[in-house]
Every structure is written in C-alpha cells, then in structure tokens.
Amino acid sequence: MPDLAFVNGRVLTQDPRRPEAEALLIREGRIARVGSTSDIREASGRGVQMFDLGGRWLLPGFMDTHTHLVEWGVSRQGVDLSTGTHLEALRDLLRPAARTTPADRWIVGYGWDESRLAEGRPLARRDLDLWALPHPLFLWRVCGHLAVVNRPALRALGLPEESPGVITEEAAREAYRKIPFSVEDLRAGVRRAAQEALALGITTVHEMLDRPEALPWLEELPGPRFRTYLYREHLDLLKAEFGQVSDRARLCGAKVFVDGSLGARTAALLEPYADAPAERGSLLVLREEVEALLQEADDLGWQIAFHAIGDRAIEAVLTACEAVFDRRGTWVCHRLEHGLLMRPEYLARLKRLGLALTVQSNFLAAWGGDQGLYAKRLGERWKWIAPIRSLLARRVSVAFGSDNLPLGPLQGIAAAVNHPVPEERISAAEAIRLYTQAGAALAGDGEELGMLSEGMLADCVVLSGDLLTDPLPCRVELTVLGGEVVYGEG
C-alpha cells in the first residue's frame, strides 16, 4: 500500500486545533501530517502517490450512526418499489421478477410508501391477491416496520389465509427471517451494501444487526470493507460476545425497540394520532424491563440503543434512564435512536442524563413539512421533530445517521441545512461534524476516527462541488479507508 498525499485542497479536518488546511500526508494507514501544500510536498518521500485536489474538499470519512446495511443489502436483492406512484405501477415493478422467479420462491419488495401512492392508502393483502401471482410476496413498507403479504405467503408462513396480511414490528421481522434466502443471496447482499456505502463516502457504520450469521461475512468478504460498530437487535445476548471482534468491527451493545414507526402508526404517542383519533400506538417493552436491562448493560459496559419514536416511548426511556442514573451517578453513554417526537421539555432531561441522540435528518426531507406524512400523523406536533439547532444549543450529544432511508450523508447534510422548520436549520459545517466526528465520539473512538489530525486513522473522502453553500449537488469522488483508496480514482 503506497503512502498518499493530497495537495491544493480545502481540508476540513474537524480538529478544533486546526479546522482547515490545504494538504495531507497519509503513511501506513494513518494521517502523518496536515499542513500547507508546500509542507506536504516537502514531507512526501519517494513512492508517495500524489493527488492534486485542484481546490476540492477533503473531509474525514462519513460515519453513519444508524444503519441496517446487512438487511438493506439483502432486501436490495429484491424489487425496489419506491418509485411506484399507484397500485398498478407497483405490480408492473414486480413483473420482471415474477417472470424469472420459480412460482414456489419468494419475491421480496421494499420501499412502498402510501404517501407517494395516488390511492393514498396503505397496501392490503387483497391488492396483492388481485395481482394473482403464484409467488409468496413480502413487501416492506419504506419504514421497515410494516409489511404486507399475499395469500401464498400466508400459507407458506403457516398463518390463516383470511388474515389481513398486514404485519408489523417483531411479527414482521420474525416472518421475514423465515424466508429462506440462499447463502449466496445473503452474501451478495452484504457485498453490495459495502460497495454502495463506500461509494457514498461512508467509511464507518453503526450497524443495527438482526442477522448474527452475517457477522462473519462482514469480516470475510473479499475487497474493501467499512468499519463497523455493531448493535445486536436481540436481547438474548451472549455476554462474551461483546468487545472487539476484529480490527474493523466491534460489538458495542444492543438495540431495543421501545415502539414502532409513525408511518405504520405503531409509534407510541401521549396523545392520539391526528389522522386516527382512536389510536396512540403502543410500547413494546415495559418500563421495568427497560430499567433492568439498563442496569445489567451498565454493569457490563455495553451501550443500549433505544429505538423510540413517539413521545410516550421517549418519555418511558427518559424515566427509566433517570431512575437508573440517579441511583448510580455515572454510567455508560447510552443512546436514543430517532427520538422523533421530541417535546421541548425533553431536551434538558437528555442533557442531564448525557443520553446521546442519533438523528436522521434525511427523514425531514422525505416526510417533513406542512404537507408531509408527519403533519398528517401528528398535526402541529410535527414541528417538534428533530429540533437540531435547539439540541445543539442545549449541548445535547447528537450524531447523524440515515437508518438506510435512504443511505447518503450528503442528502442528510442537505436536509439539516434545509430543515422544514427554519429556526431549526444548522450550517453545512455543523452538519458535517454530526456526520463525522460526532459519530466517532459516540462510539468512544474520538481519539482514532472522525478527524483528520496527525496520528489518527486515515479515513477520508474527496468531494466535488461547493459543499458549504449547497451540499445537495456535491458528489463523492474518492473514498480512502485506512490509507487505501477503496472507491474512485481521484
């Protein structure tokens, strides 16, 4: 692996001691020097591969703090339904797969979203049955918290054929796990996920892993791999599992679903849904369970990542955390995932607990705004979603991730800059920090990753475009992981 030098660029280091520089030298996988172009030229010995950035941006590699890359890669072997704008169109999207798949094999689709369908209502089993396909169909809603299946699928799953065919949360995940993917499909999915992540400039993910058998594949796959912090989605944890599993992967903790999603109306709300006055969603775990788990995790030094979307779920997490924290005084940095319906009074409680929040700013672009799905579900309450500027002003620990909806740090950065509630907008520079350094700090690796400073691991990206004024049209042109070019040619 040759040493690399980047010169004539705009290096945004994320290091407060030296926020900007022109050039960078990488030696044996680590940052050897940051400085001016002439400095770096001088320090570069023979055999250094020199990149002239020509004024382009160089940043630390992006860190996505909430991914489902394995599941996403696997489902990507299925049919993308996200472009379907009406029911017929969804059927047309499934047609090619139906033609080439044997009738007894499953067809998986993903990404349908009723807020984009002309019919304006979620899919139902009878819609799928009308298409009269012999294959068992399993079609994930875009949120991944709800799926609809057809009659052959119900039969294959051993469920009553007259049931509505709409399954949510753990039942949906359990049904999905019963689909017999071939090992080759699964490995191809993981490989694809890795390639797409690197092409988007993502060098580290915090992966919520529901398929433990995939762990060796993450490690064994030929070619470049990203760095992974793993959070298991099961509570039957083997304690011995935790810790570093390789130089690129570490098991950090567990993810706990406290509620579901707003789209599927399974998020637990204190007050009813605006568009379904009889519904408030429900909690998936009891407060006592949360407390016991926190206590145990804290003793062992694991992080718990609480998936909580509705205010009733966030309230339950905060109350349980307060009880444990007040008994102990200090604790591991636990995390709140999404925390969407963030009532203003929760900010001070988060800050006091040192509970970190992972925010998916990309959700705002997809479902925010007066006419968006959140406004439909919540009425005026949608404006409490992801109050990024207020969180930073309160010094709550925040890091950005995507939840794979979709993957893409530049989209997430653009969405934060263009927050639908103008008072909650942040600058591109602040958003970049939340997609790099903040994620490293959250994993306790702020000394190794997330910054371009001497001695740190050399993960970085080169971008085209004018990042600080308009991030959306920017593109990742080169990704470097541990000093090795893993995407692009510069």
Site of interaction with Zn ion (CB under 5 A): 403
Closest-CA residue to 217 (of 197, 194, 201): 194
Of 231 and 331, which CB lies nearer to Zn ion in the complex structure?
231
Of 136 and 401, which CB lies nearer to Zn ion in the complex structure?
401
Question: Contact at 8 Å (CB) between 24 and 53?
Answer: no
Of 133 and 256, which CB lies nearer to Zn ion in the complex structure?
256
CB of 71 to Zn ion, least distance (A): 9
Of 22 and 64, which CB lies nearer to Zn ion in the complex structure?
64
CB of 269 to Zn ion, least distance (A): 19
What separation in angstroms does the CA of 26 have from each of 11, 44, 52, 57, 449?
A: 13, 9, 14, 16, 14
Question: Contact at 8 Å (CB) between 25 and 48?
Answer: yes
> Distance between CA atoms of 93 and 78, rounded to whole angstroms?
11
Of 408 and 482, which CB lies nearer to Zn ion in the complex structure?
408
Closest-CA residue to 75 (of 157, 150, 143, 151): 143
Q: How is residue 381 written in tokens?
A: 């309450």
Q: How does DSSP assign 42-81, residue by residue?
A: HH--TTPEEEE-TT-EEEEPEEEEEE-HHHHHHHTTSEE-
Find the residue with minimal CB distance to Zn ion. Answer: 403
CB of 418 to Zn ion, least distance (A): 23
Q: How is residue 43 written in tokens?
A: 């320090």
CB of 233 to Zn ion, least distance (A): 9
CB of 68 to Zn ion, least distance (A): 6
> Collapsing DSSP states into helix, strand and coil, what is residue 188?
helix
Give φ, ψ of 340 to 5 degrees.
-65, -55
Q: How does DSSP assign 92-141, residue by residue?
A: HHHHHHHHHS-TTS-EEEEEE-GGGSTT-S---HHHHHHTT-SS-EEEEE
CB of 66 to Zn ion, least distance (A): 6
Of 311 and 403, which CB lies nearer to Zn ion in the complex structure?
403
CB of 25 to Zn ion, least distance (A): 38
CB of 302 to Zn ion, least distance (A): 18
Of 231 and 487, which CB lies nearer to Zn ion in the complex structure?
231
CB of 396 to Zn ion, least distance (A): 20
Of 153 and 285, which CB lies nearer to Zn ion in the complex structure?
285
Could you give the angle at which helices 311-328 and 346-353 cross, rounded to 10 degrees?
A: 30
> Distance between CA atoms of 194 and 191, rounded to whole angstroms?
5
Of 358 and 397, which CB lies nearer to Zn ion in the complex structure?
358
Of 60 and 144, which CB lies nearer to Zn ion in the complex structure?
144
Of 35 and 144, which CB lies nearer to Zn ion in the complex structure?
144
CB of 460 to Zn ion, least distance (A): 27
Pairing outcome for strands 249-257 and 57-60: unpaired
> Distance between CA atoms of 12 and 33, rounded to whole angstroms?
14
Contacts of 286 (CB under 8 A, 6+ apart): none
Of 259 and 403, which CB lies nearer to Zn ion in the complex structure?
403
For residue 425, the tally of other CB atoms under 10 A from its CB is: 15
CB of 403 to Zn ion, least distance (A): 4
Closest-CA residue to 411 (of 400, 422, 421): 400
Determine if residue 338 is left, alpha or beta; phi over 0 gives left, psi from -120 to 50 gives alpha, anything else beta.
Answer: left
For residue 162, the tally of other CB atoms under 10 A from its CB is: 9
Q: How does DSSP assign 381-401, residue by residue?
A: GGGGB--HHHHHHTT--EEE-
CB of 64 to Zn ion, least distance (A): 11
Q: How is residue 383 written in tokens?
A: 């404006």
